Amino acid sequence: MAATLKIITSKVGEGGQKHGPDVRRVLQLLSRAGFLASKDDKLWTNAATQACKAFHRSIGFAERTSFDPTEKSDALLELCKKAKVVLPLKLGARGYEAFSAFWAEAVKLNVPYCWGGIPGCIPDRVAYGLDGYQHYQVLNLGGKGPPYFPDAGEPGVGMNCISFVNLALSIWRTGSAHAAPYDCSQAAGGFEPISARYGMAGISCPSSDPMSLWDLRGPLGLSGSGTYVPSPLQVSQVRAPVRIALGSPAAKVVNDYFYSSDEVLRVANQGSLYYVQWCYASEVTKNAKTLAGGFGHHDTVLYDGDVYEINVGTPALRRNPLGWRMNRGLAKTDALRVYGPV
């Protein structure tokens, strides 16, 4: 799938297209931005022309009756920003600087978790680099047909665990989501980890290891949001080994499952970003489908002892020490697989 998305491919409005996917996208953006009250998003009307004029006036432009992607202006970007469907990145940054800026912007927008089929969740979103703007990404509806922006009543930006991790790994490596190896497809997970797109090798769990730098490090104290959190050195409870059925894909990576936070922190270098996949301890049945023990069901990243993730609930974006996170709820039985660093 493509890594970038053009808002429109040709002129929309007076003197241009009056119907079709590009028109529908612009009308939905005008509606989301509060310039168009009409619910009809399939045909350019006089109301759309007036909305187009009002929008251009709002950004200091002369009244215009169309949007043209060949114009040397940022009108389409400004429309996306007013419609709240883009997430800014730190231009030119790489590594932790880029990732932390991405995380801060997502937290500021209070980005919700989205996964079709879960009650109360908005439909899935996929993330593209915004064509022509290296420091912006756009979150759009998924599906096989032309991608459309969400209705005005829905959040314009949303992520699930795969799209979040996919973006995190790409932004850490290149500073954006505009080029290979980034791919907006969410066809990953289970025994096909998304880290494979980035050439990140799985790490085997060490049976024993000498003292690491983590043993010499003090507690974090305050998290980025200013809320007290436990030390990253808080060790999780040790899990029972994954129940691996004969012939299961898990048998091929039997030595790659981690059963405590201490094991993970012995191999995770400070200052590096890792992909951490949370895996079922034994066979489970979900939506009438049987998933083998060791199947990866949740995707996160790990940096300096903290797990960064997006999940069901409010707030959806969360940063917590690994040991504390492993001791919470259903995660108490999960084993982990670790890949990286990116």
| Domain co-membership, 29 together with 151 | yes
Please state, in angstroms and rounded to a whole number, the distance separating the CA atoms of residues 51 and 202. Answer: 52
CA 213 to chain centre: 30
> Does 250 map to a domain?
yes
- Residues 66-87 pLDDT 10s: 999 998 889 999 999 999 999 9
- Could you tell me if 129 and 17 lie in one domain? yes
Is 40 among the domain residues? Answer: yes
Highest mean pLDDT among 151-160, 168-177, 203-212, 235-244: 168-177
Q: What is the mean pLDDT of the chain?
A: 88
Beta strands per DSSP E along the chain: 4-5, 12-13, 66-67, 86-88, 125-130, 136-141, 273-279, 284-286, 289-291, 296-303, 306-310, 317-321, 335-339
Residue 315's alpha-carbon distances to 109, 113, 119, 248, in angstroms, are: 11, 9, 16, 36
Tokens of 17: 């297209």
On whether residue 189 sits in a domain, the answer given is: no
Are 10 and 108 in the same domain? yes
Q: What average pLDDT score do residues 100-111 get?
A: 96
**Res. 217: pLDDT tops 50:** no
Question: Of 174, 205, 237, which closes a domain?
Answer: 174
Predicted structure pTM score = 0.89
Which residues form the domain of 325?
194-339
Q: Is the pLDDT of residue 231 over 50?
A: yes
Of 174, 204, 230, which residue constitutes the final position of a domain?
174
Q: Find the helix or strand (DSSP H, E) in which 117 lies.
A: none
Looking at residue 210, its pLDDT comes to: 41
pLDDT > 80? residue 184: yes
Calculate mean pLDDT across residues 141-156.
73
Is residue 228 domain-shared with residue 279, that is, in the same domain? yes
Number of domains into which the chain is organized: 2
Burial 201-230 (b: 16+ CB within 10 A, else e): ebbebeeeeeeeebeeeeebeeeeeeeebe
Q: Is residue 186 part of a domain?
A: no
Confidence of residue 227 (pLDDT cuts 50, 70, 90): very low
Kindly state whether residues 38 and 149 are assigned to the same domain.
Answer: yes
157 and 203 inside one domain? no
Does 216 or 122 have the greater pLDDT score? 122
Does 235 share its domain with 315?
A: yes
Strands 12-13 and 296-303: unpaired
Percentage of residues in the chain with pLDDT exceeding 90?
72
Q: Can you list the alpha helix ranges (DSSP code H) found in the chain?
A: 21-32, 46-58, 75-83, 95-108, 161-174, 261-265, 322-326
**Does 320 lie in the same domain as 217?**
yes
Write out pLDDT tens, residues 119-134: 778 888 889 999 999 9
Q: What pLDDT was estimated at residue 240? A: 93
Asked if the model's pLDDT at residue 220 lies above 70, the reply is no
Give the position of tokens 């970003």. Answer: 273
Choose among 129, 38, 59, 126: nearest CA to 89.
129
> Which of 22-26, 27-31, 287-291 is least confident?
287-291
Mean local confidence (pLDDT), 60-64:
92
Whether 182 is covered by a domain: the verdict is no
Domain contains 277:
yes
Query: Does 121 lie in the same domain as 211?
Result: no
Residues 162 and 41 reside in one and the same domain: yes
Average pLDDT over residues 201-213: 69
Please check whether residues 169 and 243 belong to one and the same domain.
no
Say if CB 324 and CB 229 are below 8 A apart. Answer: yes
**Predicted pLDDT at 144:** 59
142: in domain = yes
- pLDDT band of 340, cuts 50, 70, 90: very high
Q: How many CB atoms lie within 10 A of CB 67?
A: 27
pLDDT of the residue at 211 = 40
**Residues 322 and 244 reside in one and the same domain:** yes
Closest by Cα among 234, 242, 235, 274 to 258: 242
Q: Is residue 140 part of a domain?
A: yes
DSSP annotation of 252 reads: G
Average pLDDT over residues 28-53: 92
Q: Taking residues 202-229, report their average pLDDT.
A: 51
